Amino acid sequence: MTGTAERIRTSRRGPFLVVAAALFVLLLDGNLPTPLYSVYRERFGFSGTELTLIFAVYMAVLVPSLIVFGQLSDQIGRKRVLLGGLGLGAVGLILLAAAQNTAWLFAGRIAAGIALGATAGTAAAALVELEPEDDRGKAALATVLAQSGGSAAGPLVAGVVAGWAPAPRQLPYGVGLVLTVVTAIAVSRLPREPVGGRWRPQRPSVPPEIRADFARASLSAATVWATGGLFLSVVPSYTAQLLHTHNLALLGTVAAMMLAAACAVQAVSVRAQLSPRRAQPAGLLSLVVGLAALVSAFPAKSLALVVVAAVFAGAGLGLTYFGSQAEINHLAPSGRRGELTAAFLTCVYLGVAATAISTGLLSDAYSLPTAIAVVSAVAGGTALLALGWQLKRR
């Protein structure tokens, strides 16, 4: 029995790592444009609202893709959906690399959004099924590390390559394309899993007995990722105004720093065996501190406060998202894991889209610092509300 168990763990380890890598690469691809938005804005001459709409259209197509493909992967298999997502992700990178005007950016972001929507819930469900020791906590850690790590690596890679290498509007996407193709080849070699049933598009639903826990975890995760979206969409431009700089490597690093802090905290929380119920309130409190530092940075003209904001907000995202994803993994019935994970991620990305769009509209009507202050205040208030709900159940 021990030998059989060891063989099962060994047979799962490779596929587990490949699926985690696929999720990481697609998040990296989706966030490569982050430090380049200011370059596009100067070259193509679009407004702050258009900037956030380019970011938000990614979410606008991602959400319905989650709804459609989360349930689809339960029926036709995770491998097929992952390959389709990686293929479409490659198309998005090619469109962005070839961009001649704003319409190309919208097309590239639409392709990237559908690609991630197809794979995010699918990969999260596959990681639960493939975790070598059937440990849903470790599967949650792999999911959030892949998402946070890929989101951090995207702006960092693009900022460094665009800042110090030739062809700044093409080469970052070339790097992403190579990684995507290599990952797709690895996914294509995964064993084909048994599937069954006919697929019909349907609205994801949450079983009545877990709806309260699902809503609490989803609200917490949506709040912290709304702040993550702020760092990935407009905080680089905010930092550029604050420091009067166009250094793409620096602007990419600011966005990456927040998500790197999230990854570090997630790894530490697993080593410390922090439970999801403790991780989420601690993360929400840290997020509030980070938002306060972000708002204070502009009047103080302080890069140090931006760094403090990134670290505390990143820690908040890491703790809260790890806790909420682990809770969803435990709540999800095995036959509906892809569907329930897709519903959870739909809530998360709706929060990101709402933040990005409202920030763009406010920045055009008033100023970017004012928009950041208003949106941060709303996000902070929502975080405190979620914190109270988390503490109430203890």
Which helix (H) or strand (E) segment is 310 a member of?
helix 303-331
CA atoms within 13 A on the CB side of 383: 29
| 187, 228, 321, 373 from 348: Cα distances, Å | 26, 11, 10, 21
**Amino acid 200: pLDDT:** 60
**Amino acid 5: pLDDT:** 45
**Amino acid 316: pLDDT:** 95
Separation of alpha carbons 254 and 152, rounded Å: 10
**Amino acid 310: pLDDT:** 93
Total H helices, total E strands in the chain: 14, 0
Reading the chain (394 residues) residue by residue, the pLDDT tens digits are: 444 445 445 566 889 999 999 999 999 999 898 788 778 877 888 776 777 778 778 878 887 887 777 667 777 778 888 999 999 999 999 999 999 988 999 999 999 999 988 888 788 888 888 888 878 778 878 888 888 888 888 888 888 888 787 888 899 999 999 999 999 999 999 887 666 556 565 566 788 888 899 999 999 999 999 998 888 777 887 888 888 877 877 877 887 888 889 888 887 887 777 888 889 999 999 999 999 999 999 899 898 999 999 999 999 999 999 899 888 888 877 767 767 877 888 888 888 888 878 887 888 888 889 999 999 999 999 999 999 999 887 5
| 182, 289, 341, 350 from 124: Cα distances, Å | 20, 29, 7, 18
Separation of alpha carbons 241 and 254, rounded Å: 13
Question: Contact at 8 Å (CB) between 250 and 310?
Answer: no
**Amino acid 251: pLDDT:** 76
List b or e across 74-93, with b for residues whose CB sees 16 or more CB atoms inside 10 angstroms: bebbbbbbbbbbbebbbbbb
Q: Fill in the amino acid letter for 385.
A: L
Domains of the chain in sequence order? 2-190+210-392 (1.20.1250.20)
Burial class for 296, CB neighbours closer than 10 Å (0-12, 13-18, 19+): middle
Burial class for 62, CB neighbours closer than 10 Å (0-12, 13-18, 19+): buried
pTM of the model: 0.78
